[in-house]
A and B are shown apart, each in its own frame.
Chain A
Amino acid sequence: GESVGLHLPTLSVQEGDNSIINCAYSNSASDYFIWYKQESGKGPQFIIDIRSNMDKRQGQRVTVLLNKTVKHLSLQIAATQPGDSAVYFCAETPSSNTGNQFYFGTGTSLTVIP
């Protein structure tokens, strides 16, 4: 089966610092990746996505990097704010999948220290 993992289950950063959350995947056929943010008691919220034909994609204060060689994905959050405290999930779907079945990592809990 698919294996999508995260290097660290928890991450604490000072407000204003940059955060980096990592994710590893095992299926080399994976071609679409999404990062989600989940706050307590809420559903996952889309942050940013990237397809396998790209190495980097930037959004507002967030950047996703994809390294297909080592099957690694990272989410960078610039100038981390208290509102960024949440659990972050990476999700991937392989091109061989004919539907929208995503495989999720176990999540990294980000705590921003004021």
Chain B
Amino acid sequence: KAGVTQTPRYLIKTRGQQVTLSCSPISGHRSVSWYQQTPGQGLQFLFEYFSETQRNKGNFPGRFSGRQFSNSRSEMNVSTLELGDSALYLCASSFGTGGNTIYFGEGSWLTVV
């Protein structure tokens, strides 16, 4: 079956703009998590959604937000982009929440100029 699908794969934005990234989880998976990966900070947890509810949130400013739809697809939004937001944004899905295996998509490469 299809894996986690993220769109777009690559994008370039200007400081101050906003961006929306999309994630379609593995069929049957109800949990979607988002991570930011940078060379300096590594993989850092942004938030997790399960059944359209945010379960956990990492230590990121309020400019980072997300949501989940009834079909489990998820979007994350970053407003007022800063240069430091340049990163690989990874979506991971799992069947359930709470100690479940998470499977990653290929990520969305965001460059802020």
Q: Are B56 and A100 in contact, with the CB atoms below 8 A? A: yes
Q: Are A43 and B90 in contact, with the CB atoms below 8 A? A: yes
Known: A43-B90, A107-B42. A100 touches B33 (CB 8 A): yes
A71 to chain B, nearest CB (A): 18
Known: A100-B55, A104-B43. A36 touches B99 (CB 8 A): no
Complex CA–CA separation, A51 to B100 (angstroms)? 11
A91 to chain B, nearest CB (A): 8
Q: Are A42 and B48 in contact, with the CB atoms below 8 A? A: no
Digit string of A19-47 for contact with B (CB within 8 Å is 1, else 0)? 00000000000011010100000111110
Q: Which stretch in B14-22, B61-69, B70-78, B104-112 binds the other chain?
A: B104-112
**A93: nearest chain-B partner, CB-CB:** B99
Question: B24 near A: Cβ within 8 Å?
Answer: no
B56's contact among A31, A49, A97, A107, by CB below 8 Å, is which? A97
Question: A98 near B: Cβ within 8 Å?
Answer: yes
**A104: nearest chain-B partner, CB-CB:** B43
Q: Are A99 and B42 in contact, with the CB atoms below 8 A? A: no
Complex CA–CA separation, A34 to B33 (angstroms)? 15
Size class of the B contact interface (CB-based, 8 Å): 20 to 34
Complex CA–CA separation, A99 to B46 (angstroms)? 12
Q: Are A89 and B97 in contact, with the CB atoms below 8 A? A: no
Q: Are B90 and A102 in contact, with the CB atoms below 8 A? A: no
Determine the chain B residues whose CB is within 8 A of the CB of A36 once the complex forms. Answer: 104
**B109: nearest chain-A partner, CB-CB:** A41
Residues on B facing A (Cβ under 8 Å): 4, 6, 31, 33, 35, 42-45, 48, 50, 55-56, 58-59, 90, 92, 94, 97-107
Residues on A facing B (Cβ under 8 Å): 1, 31-32, 34, 36, 42-46, 49, 51, 89, 91, 93, 95, 97-107
Given contacts A93-B99, A101-B45, could you give 12 more A-B pairs where the C-beta distance is less than 8 Å? Answer: A32-B99, A34-B101, A44-B104, A97-B56, A98-B98, A99-B97, A100-B56, A100-B97, A100-B102, A104-B42, A104-B43, A105-B42
